[in-house]
Amino acid sequence: MKRCAIAGWGLYPQAEATIERARFPNDLPSIIRQRQPLLPQGNCRSYGDACLFDRVVSCLPLDHLLEFDPKRGILKVEAGITLDRITRFILPHGWFLPVTPGTKFPTLAGCLAADVHGKNHHVDGTIGDFVEEMELLLADGSLVNCSPRECPDLFQATLGGMGLTGFIYSVTLRLRKVSSAFIQMRSIKTPSLSEACKIFAETKDDYTYSVAWIDCLARGRQLGRSIVMLGNHAPIEAVEASRPLSLPPEGKLSVPFFFPGFALNSWSVKAFNTLYYHRQWRHQVDSLVHFDPFFYPLDAVGHWNRIYGHSGFLQYQFVIPFANGQEIMAEILERIAHRGVASFLAVLKTMGAEHGLLSFPMPGYTLALDIPLRDKRIIPFLQELNQTVLRAGGRNYLAKDAILEREAFEAMYPRLDEFKQIKRQYDPDNLFRSHQSDRLGIS
């Protein structure tokens, strides 16, 4: 074993770590018996310091398919498997992931640790809502089954628990039945934030998936102008292709080097946003698209995070309640535009019911921004926005956080003490830790 530099997908912050690989299930108990603090690690697709620690144990080799019931759509896998591999196995059988984030490359364990949501949270909830049970290796070396019925406290703490309750070894997941690999998409061009929110409200019962790209640099009457994208799984009769359950090709373009730090600035992003907004000249466009570009547009380009340069970037995501949500969101967008924050990846969604102890979602509006980290003076500005989010009754997403302050975190997550109590019960020596958990006082 040797120490090397590691980072999440945002490339900030970076840390020195000793990396071990759990190649077989039997490796995990022996690793735990060393009684040295550690962090289970997946494919490092979280953005901040959630996947960083001095000692990490990679679970990527634990990626085997264990059981599959093609009639009922029940899948059991080792949790180091990626969403991409799961989809490539289940789709030819007419099944799809019940919930997926905006990338197909995280591990299933990582998705449960973050309790990820997708474009359908307002309808279906998080990935945790579809877990039948999971096998968890605890700090004492025991392997336990937990589910909504068996060890429910441990189950709820693990969903959104950021890997701090133990190694997720296996997961049994309920899948979504589909008849094609395609999405019937409606794209609506909106002139303002209020119009985008109005469309979300009017279509929430008609579409499984909804999301909006938003121009975060537009100001005045154009504040929050957006392209709202709505979608449902296409029935087979709507698909003319000879292979209705076709998989995407595995090859892709890749960014071969890190861009210079000045490449992304407020001027270049403003130009991109203007072109992107006006490329759809009609108010409404209906189309049939493959699931891959609908759910994972950025995954088409390998190492796309290099466009932000060696300094990396911050993914800043928060959710605020519907009550006064539009007014608070408009205030935040105005401050972002006034500050000239250069983000061309700005995504607005609505969220449904909350559950879990440290899970992110709550009923309301969520905005995610990719922000180049050329100048660290942006961090105090974002921490000021955190206070606005907090006063609105909202919170930040731990899977994408690198800058949240402990006091704000404790106020945003009112069930933190419940989580800490369960963690102390199952991990009394605080074996499972991360740089994020140390920073926020979780561990």
Q: Out of 3.30.70.420, 3.30.460.80, 3.30.465.10, 3.20.20.480, select the CATH number for domain 65-178.
A: 3.30.465.10
E-strand stretches of 79-225: 95-96, 131-137, 143-146, 167-174, 176-177, 182-190, 209-214
C-alpha to C-alpha distance for 179 and 63, rounded to whole angstroms: 26
Q: Is the peptide bond before 13 cis (omega within 30 degrees of 0)?
A: yes
Can you give the pLDDT at residue 100? Answer: 99
Q: With pLDDT > 90 as the criterion, what percentage of the chain qualifies?
A: 82
**Tens of pLDDT, residues 143-177:** 999 999 999 999 999 999 999 999 999 999 999 99
Can you give the pLDDT at residue 268? Answer: 78
**Tens of pLDDT, residues 52-96:** 999 999 999 999 999 999 999 999 999 999 999 999 999 999 999
| pTM for this model (two decimals) | 0.95
**Tens of pLDDT, residues 268-280:** 777 887 888 888 8
Token output for 293:
């570009």
The type of residue at 424 is: R
Q: 230, 185 in Cβ contact below 8 A?
A: yes
Can you give the pLDDT at residue 381? Answer: 96
33 burial via Cβ count (<10 Å: 0-12, 13-18, 19+): exposed
**Tens of pLDDT, residues 391-401:** 999 999 999 99
214 burial via Cβ count (<10 Å: 0-12, 13-18, 19+): buried
Q: What count of Cα atoms within 13 Å lies in the side-chain half-sphere of residue 303?
A: 10
Can you give the pLDDT at residue 264? Answer: 72
182-404 CATH: 3.30.70.2520
Paired residues of 18 in beta bridges: 3, 55
Can you give the pLDDT at residue 270? Answer: 78
E-strand stretches of 138-249: 143-146, 167-174, 176-177, 182-190, 209-214, 226-233
Can you give the pLDDT at residue 273? Answer: 78
| More confident site: 109 or 300 | 109
In the chain, where are the structural domains located?
Answer: 65-178, 182-404
Can you give the pLDDT at residue 12? Answer: 97
pLDDT band at 251 (very low <50, low <70, confident <90, very high): low
Helices H / strands E in the chain, number of each? 13, 21
Token output for 168:
């997720």
Rounded average pLDDT over 384-413: 98
C-alpha to C-alpha distance for 320 and 391, rounded to whole angstroms: 9
Can you give the pLDDT at residue 395? Answer: 98
Q: With pLDDT > 70 as the criterion, what percentage of the chain qualifies?
A: 98
Can you give the pLDDT at residue 341? Answer: 83
**Tens of pLDDT, residues 414-427:** 999 999 999 999 99
Q: Please, what is the average pLDDT of the chain?
A: 94
CB count within 10 Å of CB 16 equals 10
User: Quick one: which of 194, 206, 211, 292 has its CA closest to 246?
Assistant: 292
**Tens of pLDDT, residues 186-220:** 999 999 999 999 999 999 999 999 999 999 888 88
User: Quick one: which of 225, 162, 208, 201 has its CA closest to 423?
Assistant: 162
Q: Pick the most confident of 29-38, 366-375, 397-406.
A: 397-406
Token output for 131:
């877990």
